[in-house]
Each structure stands twice: as structure tokens, then as C-alpha cells.
Amino acid sequence: MAKKAIITGINGQDGSYLAELLLDKGYKVYGIIRRSSIESTDKTRNIEHIIDKVHLSTCSLENSLAVYKLFASIQPDECYHLAATSFVSYSLEDDLSIMMNNFTATHNILLSVIEACPKCRVYFAGSSEIFGDVNVSPQNEKTSYNPRSVYGISKLSSHQLIKNYRKQYGIYACTGFTYNHESPRRGCAFVTRKITSAAASIALERASYIDLGNIDAARDWGYAPEYVRAMQLMLNAEIPKDYVIATGKLHTVRELLETAFNVVGLDYRNHIRIKKEFIRPAEEVALVGDSTEIYKDLGWKARAKFEEIIQEMVENDLRILRMEQNKA
Ligand code: G4F
């Protein structure tokens, strides 16, 4: 019988790639999205091509009864909990809602699994942000947690709940500490897509400048379609374990600019402006992950090259802009 998987946040970058992967593997895929998202083509763009193949339900993950009823009726074998406020904000006004939404959703899902379908395996989308202000590099599963944003704190508290309930209730639940992972489906607020879409706009003479924060900031950037494979492997292992999912390689925003603008034959230095509002608190030690453990246990390794990911993103942004131009 086909396995049934629930994906929260199926319409996001990771959710959409994961849905494709699971459909290819013969799963029945159930996607949970917010009611407001189903009414917006903008928010379902990533799953347009598979919308007839997946079962979509609208549900607020903060509503415990609604979540429970969904899990009780679907009786899933696996649940990939990817939905979250995912932009790392440093604004005081956003803090409480980020914390409440992210933590409550995880709690409601775990509660529903324990009560309605205790055999269901749960993947929780953690983040490198839980390591935060680190003093070791690279980080691995044994590195101490020290989040520097409320987003990181919300991910850490959810992860602690995963660990706690795994032990207390014997459920199969685990966390993937994913580092930044990108693709043409990345939202435009994240720096990779912000730069690739700006490079395309500037090349087509639709814009002249891009406004950025600290371009010497460095990140461990991987390829989203590969990261969702790690998630599926984690739920199909012998025992539930938490893993770091990363490339182990650091690149700066400056290198990202160089790579993206090279694709369109331009010099980024003529097209950037540094703006205070995009500068975040400085990081002393950069976040870069060591994925030896998941390679040893499950054979997963990041393979895509940084330059190839950025090139694919720029080419996709050029294609989108040209299509819009042809329509106008
Ligand atoms: O693309 P970013 O906004 O990603 P960030 O904050 O690292 O978060 C992403 O990765 C985390 C780890 O996987 C996830 F937990 C999280 O959900 C999200 O997916 O920023 C990347 C870097 C930062 O160092 C930032 O300071 O780019 C730097 N940056 C410089 N100028 C900028 C800008 N970031 C943004 N968004 N916009 C700028 O203008």
C-alpha cells in the first residue's frame, strides 16, 4: 500500500521539492496550507504543476483541534513539518508572533501524532540558526546551542520538544539542522534570490542598483532539492536521529554577487548600494555545518556546486522577466 505523507508548508520552496520527490517514490501526498494561501496564485506557484496529484487541506497549525482532526482522518505514515515563519527577523514587533506560531504549530503536530497516529514518523525542519553565536567551526550535532534571534529560539524550543517527546512517548521524531539552502523557488527576501533577481533585472535594464547589507557576511549555501532528499532519508532510517544538513563550504555575499553578475556579464561593483536597514548584528564565527554524521549513517552528502546553483537561479530569473516582457 502507498505510504501517506503530510507536508506542512507544501507550497514553500522545500515543501514543493519534497512533494515532487515523494510523488516520484509513490507516496500519497497531503499538503497543509493556510486558507489565505489557497486563494492566492502567488502562494501556490511552486506547486501549480503537481496540484492535481496532491491532496490539499487548509488548516491553521495554531488550531490544535483542527490539526488533530486532520491527522486522525488521514492517518499518515510520515509528517514533514516544514511550515514556519522562516525569515530571520531582528524586529521586536515580530518576536512574539514568530515564537508563538512556530512553537505552537510543532506542539500541535506532536500532540496529534501521539494521540491520533503514534506510528507516524515526524521530521522537524530545524535550522543552523539554533547554533547562533558559535565559537566552533564547523558545527555538528554535538555543538552547543546559542541562538541569536527569536527565530533561532523558536526553532530550538521546537527541537527540544521533539527530543523530549521522542524520549517520553517513544515516537519516531527527528530534527534536521539545515543550513541555508537555495533554488529558483527561493523567496525574494532572502539574499540569494534578491541578488539573482536583481542581476537579471539590471541585465535587462529594468533596474540599475541593488541595496544590500553586509556583503562580507558568509553562509553555507546548499541546493534545496538535495536537502529534501536528506529529510526523506531521515524518516526512513532505522532509528530517529537529528542531523546537520549542510555543504561544509562557506561563501560570502560578495562572492555571491560576483557569481550572479558574471552570469549576465556585468561588474557588480557598479550596481550595489549598501543600506543601513539591511545590516544585521555582526557574526564573529560564521555558521558552517559538518554533515559527516548523516553521510556515515544514511549516505547523504551535498553535491551541487555553489556556482551552479547561482547560475540556475539567475537564468530562471532572466526567463521569468523575459516572459513578463513578452506578455506586456
Ligand atoms: O538570505 P538570508 O536572509 O538568510 P538567513 O538569515 O541566513 O536565513 C536563512 O537560512 C537559515 C539557515 O538555514 C534559515 F534558518 C532561515 O529560515 C533562512 O532560510 O541572509 C543571508 C546572509 C545574512 O548574513 C545577511 O546578513 O546575507 C546577509 N545579507 C546581506 N545583505 C542580506 C542582505 N540578507 C538579506 N536577506 N538581505 C540583504 O540585503
Q: Give me the residue label for grid cell 548600494.
A: 273
User: Domains in the chain, please, with CATH?
Assistant: 4-181+221-245 (3.40.50.720), 186-219+249-287+305-327 (3.90.25.10)
What integer pLDDT is reported at residue 134 of this predicted model? 93
DSSP state of 204: T
The tens digit of pLDDT for each residue in 240-299 reads 999 999 999 999 999 999 999 999 999 999 999 999 999 987 778 889 999 999 999 999
- Where the chain has pLDDT below 70, the residues are 38-41
Q: What is the residue with the minimal CA distance to atom 9 of ligand 1?
A: 180
Q: What is the residue with the minimal CA distance to atom 30 of ligand 1?
A: 213
Are 172 and 237 in contact, with CB atoms under 8 Å apart?
no
What integer pLDDT is reported at residue 40 of this predicted model? 67
Q: Is 213 in the pocket of ligand 1 (CB under 6 A)?
A: yes
3-class secondary structure per residue, 209-259? CEEECCCCCEECCEEHHHHHHHHHHHHCCCCCCCEEECCCCCEEHHHHHHH
Catalytic residue numbers read: 127, 129, 151
